[in-house]
Amino acid sequence: MRVLLTGGSGFIGSHVAVALAAAGHEPLIVDDLSNSRGGVVERIRELARMPIPALVADVRDEASVSEFLAAHGRVDAVVHLAGLKAVGESVADPVRYYDVNLSSTLAVLRLMSAHGIDAMVFSSSATVYGSAGTMPLAEDGAVGAGIANPYGRTKYMIEEILRDVCAAEPSFRCTALRYFNPVGAHPSGLLGEDPLGVPNNLMPVVAKVAGGILDSVSIFGTDYPTRDGTGERDYVHVQDLARGHVRALEELAPGFDAVNLGTGEPASVLDVIRAYGDASGREIPYRLNARRPGDLAVAFADVEKAARELGWTAELTLADACRDDWRWRQATAD
């Protein structure tokens, strides 16, 4: 299967590209490199052991992407990962987030129509569940209500667009993968998460503290009704996520579907700090702060549908993710 990856040099996209190649598929990458470091495509090619074509462009540049697609023959499917993803930034600049995330999806759908591509795996998010309070979060539960930020609302809106496309075009196949909290790195040490600017997610912050770049981790909320009072989330290794994309592509059926990718096991903020400290052999100082508005005490996935429909379950642990992330950071520090 020849597969176009939009945002294919980002954290998740780069791992998906390698996983696709390992499964015998042919990835093509389009990425504007707005949130990835130089040299990622070369490392993807090294791990994939194949000359993966790549175009540096915004997917909204439909003429350039169309020319790229036409130059590489029949493309069977798209994995759509391109878009902005920083929650705090989306609150500060909502217009940019709605513009980029929605218009890039519409551009991809127009390109798919023009090139006769009717299969998509979409990079969605557990944020679409909003303030849903019943755990674990299942795909047949409520979505859309109480989403706390524009980033999450763009993911929900895109899912609705894709539902409408599937309803209008009965042959169109689409699965939205609702990620929980992606962590970890490729075990080779060649690929990992390196967000530009100030990191928004917990593990990159913890890693920067372990590496002496930041002084401490800020913990927001220590009085939640959890095992240790800190918030609990479902941390899924990026290698497991990458496998999930391959399985979703291979199991696509007509219509719209949504599938959670998570472990089904929540871990607390203190669990992550301790696990990363163990992996790095470093002390991880932290500061206790009041809760942030909108944060849930606990959020984790119901993973039965992924097992049933995709034959996928998470295989790697939080300890594995911390070990792989630390290895990658040590390798890139050399």
**Which are the catalytic amino acids?**
151
d(CA 94, CA 91): 6
Half-sphere exposure of 86 (CA within 13 A, CB side): 15
DSSP symbol at 124: E
The answer to whether 200 and 145 have CB atoms below 8 angstroms apart is: no
Element containing residue 27 per DSSP (H, E): strand 26-31
Contacts of 259 (CB under 8 A, 6+ apart): 139, 175, 176, 177, 178, 244, 248, 305, 306, 309, 310
d(CA 208, CA 240): 23
DSSP symbol at 129: G
The answer to whether 306 and 167 have CB atoms below 8 angstroms apart is: no
